[in-house]
A and B are shown apart, each in its own frame.
Chain A
Amino acid sequence: MTGVPYLSLAIWVPIVGGLLALTTGSDRNAPVARLTALVAALAGFFVTLPLYAGFDTTTASMQFVERAPWVTRFSIEYYLGVDGISMPFVLLNSFITIIVVIAGWEVVDRKVAQYNAGFLIMSGLLNGIFSSLDGILFYVFFEASLIPLYLIIGIWGGPNRVYAAIKFFLYTLLGSLLMLVAILWLFMEAGGSFDILAWHNLKIGMTAQSLIFFAFLASFAVKVPMWPVHTWLPDAHVEAPTGGSVVLAAIALKLGAYGFLRFSLPIVPDAAHQYAPLVLTLSLIAVVYIGFVALVQADMKKLVAYSSISHMGFVTLGFFMFNAVAIEGALVQMISHGFVSGAMFLCIGVLYDRVHSRQIADYGGVVNTMPKFAAFFLLFAMANAGLPATSGFVGEFMVVLGAVKFNFWVAFIAATTLILGAAYTLWMYKRVVFGEVANEHVKSLSDINRREFFFLAVLAACVLVMGIYPQPVTEVMHASVNGLLQHIAVSKL
């Protein structure tokens, strides 16, 4: 350890950058605000690189640990650290922030400083969530991250943004209140400690385990989101500006899933085993039910939103089968989904910026006027359908392999995503991109400009590299996933 507080930098560089961007004030200084935001986002990403480069893949213990007292009276600590499960998400989040800033460059012309500040501050807060090892610190970051997203949807969103924003806010807030209760209970039980790692070793009775499990489930299930508490997501996506959708899909959805691995599984393993069938059932419903619902969506964003829910169903499915292949597959799926769904929303954004419609029926024959865009869109659509050599395949493949080992019929149901995912994604692609030029709007479309080409190309590279050579990603997870599995194999009753 060099002693450089990389995790603090990952949290505070974007936040300070965001505040700086805010100081540029009105839209007269918009260029300055954009530039500040870009520099801050780039700096925020660069400070996370040492986390990967200096990561020790042989250990399951926390790395880059920073620990300082914060509220001594309640022994709340400023306690940070990452392992192979959380570290990739810090990088992913910081990376996506750059994309979002670039994606909003010319598109957002209203309250530019505030828009960029919102994303930067959120980026810092999200990094805080992934690196917190103190229960209260986690909770503060977890709740605080709601606010920028709420504002982004509420201010820069579509016509029905207020309904969507409030629905999103209430849904997630209600869930996390129960989590707060659980955190406080654990604090008492641990003899006055908010140290999450210490909670991992607490002996807890079965009744208490069950209650804690459901308290966490209430919070995390909403965030994932799992069926049946998913209905906020399509609304939020439809109303959110493109950048909001990207962060929501790429990072915010990962919080709940991450919570399962950091809290539910290691703290209450017996309850996790006991209620695994419930979670697996909900996950399978998400995969199949949502797959069918996605098929009939007329709004592209809704379709991709539903597809996200279905893909996240794969993640929770992978977690609760308790084998290494499935858990690592689920983690890979989370990262891949960050790239792919982010890219899908950006593609829809590219179209929306030109035509101001998200309705599939308003398009048709886009390839005739936007061939470069069509090529990128196809790559991401194929990744969304889980085609090998794209990142979308890796996680799905591993989860299905893990599922066969767990139970053939679980795998059978899960594998229907191969058909459903291809059906809803490629059917949409066909109606939007292929065919004769459908109308005047499509006829007057101009292909992607250099800025759009840049961010789509960067994401395309990520999707392909991770599909062709996922080993660097899976490698960092092994020790932590194995450690986790060994930990939860032992009863804590």
Chain B
Amino acid sequence: MTDMQKLYLLVPLAPLAGAVLAGLFGRAIGRTASHVVTILGVAVAFVASVLIFQDVQAGNVFDGALYTWATAGELRFEVGFLIDKLTVMMMLVVTFVSLMVHIYTIGYMHDDPGYQRFFSYISLFTFSMLMLVMSNNFVQLFFGWEAVGLVSYLLIGFWYTKPTAIYANLKAFLVNRVGDFGFLLGIGLIAAYTGSLNYSEVFAKVPTLAPQMIELVPGSAWLLMSVICICLFIGAMGKSAQVPLHVWLPDSMEGPTPISALIHAATMVTAGIFMVTRMSPLFEVSETARAFVLVIGATTALFMGFLGIIQNDIKRVVAYSTLSQLGYMTVALGVSAYSAAVFHLMTHAFFKALLFLAAGSVIIGMHHDQDIRNMGGLWKRMPITWITSLVGSLALIGFPFFAGFYSKDAIIEAVAVSHTPGAGYAYFCVIVGVFVTAFYSFRMYFLVFHGAERFGKAHGGHGADEHHHDDEHGHHGPLEPHESPWVVWLPLVLLAIPSVLIGFFAIEPMLFRGWFGSAVVVNEANDVLGHLAEEFHGAAAMAQHGFMSLPFLLAISGVVTAAVFYLFKPEIPAWFARTFAPLYRLLDNKYYFDRFNEVVFAGGARLLGRGLWKGGDQMLIDGVMVNGTAGAVGAVARLTKLLQTGHIYQYAFVIIIGVVVLLTFWGSRG
């Protein structure tokens, strides 16, 4: 094993070691030691990732097996790493955001009795996510995929006595399982047709498999690759919360805020985007699959954005914004702009983690009141949180020069020039989405940081959505929000820096100079980014041009509208809600997805189960077949009981022993 390979191994194992230490021995080593070992583990992983980044930057790519997990038939399952530029970018994002969240957690979870357990979980998550992105094969990908789902389950239900939390974590796990169902079938098809689960071997076979058709339903032949890609993408829909498998993400906000930032904004939910990018050689073959991806993504981008407008829980606003932004990334995948998708993934990871952690800081300041209607005017009480939130919001709405501007604008431009079926609809969605994003983002921003201070008054909805470990402070006497401790605000500042700068510096190499190299494959005919590259004259010129573009005008009108509605004329939103009551109800019920799932799927499954159990097992099989027979046998047994008062097992025992003995004696003579 070379030194570099040892370094690869160190990246996932360091957080794992931290997780094991804090998890198994957390009580013994105490709170401080627990956060020290886990933070150390993640810090080591981050530093190692930086070193690996330099190595990869120098042109080195690694693709090799670590050990053979199992062999079965002609299939060989291995655990191994593929370290290329796509991987190393993900490694940097994951370890950096994770490190920030680890530090932040010291402050946020300070009073929580489950302190060590929490650190153990987030380190375990970091390990799982790294295994996912570093994999060179589908088995390990699936392992990481499910492992991050497990940790997400554990963390959403972290406060396990809270009914809403344990409902949300079960829901998240099951909805993700629906996605995994498709994902597993996709992997199965790949194994069946290529005889391998190793990325490079599978990709090598794509040219020969590309024209192959498959008839799943007799009479309707599909391109094999379309079926495979759609199956894989169903997995991505679960993990990356695309309509209609998005329903778990808003509820996942029941978990503590640090994990909302790490798992449900920056990293885990982007696993689907990463996976599709990794599979770009497959998706390039199937236009059908890409059109499917595009339409799902566009729908998510716009319609989840609408829901962000009417949320009053600070975390839920950010959650719906995450859904919408994931939709943008998916749209980019659909138009073959894979680099743009992961570019947005990266910028989004920074500014969305920032926004979530800032929301958490506000929540601490508000003593765990999450209702934005009870806030207002916090800018002078929490200056660092305020400024960093503003930075995050500007990045989110795509204000020129901020990171989000570059990544989002690239996606919008790419959709505009794309020929993937559905690109027209997608363009409409992403462009209207810009206004919506700006509107809900600044609605929240204004309600939280500006206007009158509303927290002095009785706050009725207090604490309904957060854990009650704040009983010793607040409640009595007036609420006096103040800036959070440094462990909380330092990560905000460190995340704010890339939220401003990363787009400016990364856009040219990542999107237009082929930095990803062979990690991302795009057919000539679909190469929308190549098309855009011709008109790209540097990041500064792009931003300057951005001030005159349609998206910028839409974003600014969103901000202005929000200011008018929520700062100057607060009676307008109420009027809207009254006038368009049916529409408001539709949004308030989140398009009735939850109700539908509950009644049709959950209720239907229980009804079916009860029917099969009572009707099938108890009535038909036991009632008619078994007990009928047994009744007859029982009658015979009662007769034999008249001869001797014995037990059936004694008879059986005697019979068997008798047969054996008889056979032995009788048989041996002959």
Distance (Å) between the CB of B221 and the closest chain A CB?
13
Given contacts A71-B664, A231-B617, contact A323 B73 (CB under 8 A): yes
Whether A474 lies near B70 (C-beta < 8 A) is yes
Whether A422 lies near B177 (C-beta < 8 A) is yes
A-chain residues with CB within 8 Å of residue B72 when the two chains form the complex? 324-325, 328-329, 398, 474, 478
Contacts A400-B188, A430-B166, A474-B70 known; 14 new A-B pairs at CB < 8 A: A71-B666, A71-B667, A166-B648, A174-B629, A292-B613, A295-B609, A296-B613, A398-B72, A411-B188, A416-B181, A419-B177, A422-B177, A436-B161, A473-B70
Given contacts A150-B649, A434-B166, contact A401 B188 (CB under 8 A): yes
Whether B605 lies near A388 (C-beta < 8 A) is no
Q: Which of these, A146, A409, A475, A478, contacts B216 with CB under 8 Å?
A: A409
Whether A147 lies near B663 (C-beta < 8 A) is no
Residue-wise, chain A 265-299 has the 8 Å CB interface mask toward B (1 for contact) of 00000000000000000000000010011111100
Stretch at the interface among A14-22, A72-80, A84-92: A72-80
Whether B649 lies near A154 (C-beta < 8 A) is yes
Whether B146 lies near A71 (C-beta < 8 A) is no
A-chain residues with CB within 8 Å of residue B147 when the two chains form the complex? 387-389
Q: Which of these, B145, B610, B668, contacts A71 with CB under 8 Å?
A: B668
A110, CB-defined interface residue at 8 Å: no
A-chain residues with CB within 8 Å of residue B177 when the two chains form the complex? 418-419, 422-423
Residue-wise, chain B 644-670 has the 8 Å CB interface mask toward A (1 for contact) of 000011001100100110011011111
B-chain residues with CB within 8 Å of residue A415 when the two chains form the complex? 181, 184-185, 188
Distance (Å) between the CB of A400 and the closest chain B CB?
6
10 A-B residue pairs with Cβ-Cβ distance under 8 Å, sorted by A, are: A71-B666, A154-B649, A228-B621, A228-B625, A397-B142, A400-B185, A404-B191, A416-B181, A423-B174, A423-B177
B-chain residues with CB within 8 Å of residue A388 when the two chains form the complex? 142-143, 145-147
Given contacts A76-B663, A170-B633, contact A143 B656 (CB under 8 A): yes
A-chain residues with CB within 8 Å of residue B606 when the two chains form the complex? 295-296
Distance (Å) between the CB of B484 and the closest chain A CB?
30
B3, CB-defined interface residue at 8 Å: no
A403, CB-defined interface residue at 8 Å: yes
A-chain residues with CB within 8 Å of residue B146 when the two chains form the complex? 387-389, 393
Distance (Å) between the CB of A202 and the closest chain B CB?
23
Whether B668 lies near A73 (C-beta < 8 A) is yes
Q: In chain A between 288 and 315, which residues have their CB closer than 8 angstroms to a CB of chain B? A: 289, 292-297
B residues whose Cβ falls under 8 Å from a Cβ of A: 67-75, 139, 142-143, 145-147, 150, 153, 157, 160-161, 163, 166, 170, 173-174, 177-178, 180-181, 184-185, 187-189, 191-192, 214, 216, 605-606, 608-610, 612-613, 616-617, 621-622, 625-626, 629-630, 633, 648-649, 652-653, 656, 659-660, 663-664, 666-670
Q: Which of these, B71, B166, B170, B612, contacts A478 with CB under 8 Å?
A: B71
* Separation of A268 and B158 alpha carbons in the complex (Å): 54
* Separation of A173 and B630 alpha carbons in the complex (Å): 12
A470, CB-defined interface residue at 8 Å: yes
A426, CB-defined interface residue at 8 Å: yes
Nearest neighbor of A429 in chain B, beta-carbon distance: B170
Whether B191 lies near A289 (C-beta < 8 A) is no
* Separation of A246 and B606 alpha carbons in the complex (Å): 28
B-chain residues with CB within 8 Å of residue A74 when the two chains form the complex? 663, 667
Residue-wise, chain A 381-405 has the 8 Å CB interface mask toward B (1 for contact) of 0100001110001100110111111
Nearest neighbor of B602 in chain A, beta-carbon distance: A423
* Separation of A148 and B459 alpha carbons in the complex (Å): 67
B-chain residues with CB within 8 Å of residue A150 when the two chains form the complex? 649, 652
Q: In chain A between 120 and 151, which residues have their CB closer than 8 angstroms to a CB of chain B? A: 136, 140, 143-144, 146-147, 150-151
Closest 8 CB pairs of A and B: A324-B73, A71-B667, A404-B188, A73-B670, A292-B609, A73-B667, A296-B609, A405-B192
* Separation of A323 and B68 alpha carbons in the complex (Å): 21
* Separation of A166 and B180 alpha carbons in the complex (Å): 42
A-chain residues with CB within 8 Å of residue B185 when the two chains form the complex? 400, 404, 408, 411-412, 415
* Separation of A62 and B648 alpha carbons in the complex (Å): 37
A70, CB-defined interface residue at 8 Å: yes
B-chain residues with CB within 8 Å of residue A470 when the two chains form the complex? 69-70
Q: In chain A between 421 and 435, which residues have their CB closer than 8 angstroms to a CB of chain B? A: 422-423, 426-427, 430, 433-435
* Separation of A70 and B185 alpha carbons in the complex (Å): 52
Q: Which of these, B68, B69, B157, contacts A434 with CB under 8 Å?
A: B157
Distance (Å) between the CB of B243 and the closest chain A CB?
19
Whether A435 lies near B161 (C-beta < 8 A) is yes
* Separation of A289 and B621 alpha carbons in the complex (Å): 13
Nearest neighbor of B75 in chain A, beta-carbon distance: A325
Given contacts A329-B72, A470-B69, contact A404 B652 (CB under 8 A): no
A210, CB-defined interface residue at 8 Å: no
Given contacts A170-B633, A329-B72, contact A72 B174 (CB under 8 A): no
Distance (Å) between the CB of A332 and the closest chain B CB?
8
Nearest neighbor of A394 in chain B, beta-carbon distance: B70
B-chain residues with CB within 8 Å of residue A408 when the two chains form the complex? 185, 189, 214, 216
A368, CB-defined interface residue at 8 Å: yes
Nearest neighbor of B143 in chain A, beta-carbon distance: A388
Given contacts A73-B666, A73-B670, contact A403 B649 (CB under 8 A): no
Distance (Å) between the CB of A78 and the closest chain B CB?
11
Whether B652 lies near A147 (C-beta < 8 A) is yes
A-chain residues with CB within 8 Å of residue B670 when the two chains form the complex? 72-73
Whether B649 lies near A151 (C-beta < 8 A) is yes
A-chain residues with CB within 8 Å of residue B74 when the two chains form the complex? 324-325
* Separation of A433 and B668 alpha carbons in the complex (Å): 60
* Separation of A475 and B73 alpha carbons in the complex (Å): 10
Nearest neighbor of A477 in chain B, beta-carbon distance: B72
* Separation of A169 and B637 alpha carbons in the complex (Å): 14
Whether A231 lies near B667 (C-beta < 8 A) is no
A2, CB-defined interface residue at 8 Å: no
A-chain residues with CB within 8 Å of residue B73 when the two chains form the complex? 323-325, 328, 402, 481
B-chain residues with CB within 8 Å of residue A323 when the two chains form the complex? 73
Distance (Å) between the CB of A460 and the closest chain B CB?
12
Residue-wise, chain A 40-68 has the 8 Å CB interface mask toward B (1 for contact) of 00000000000000000000000000000
Distance (Å) between the CB of B245 and the closest chain A CB?
12
Whether B67 lies near A296 (C-beta < 8 A) is no
Q: Which of these, A136, A167, A426, contacts B174 with CB under 8 Å?
A: A426
A449, CB-defined interface residue at 8 Å: no
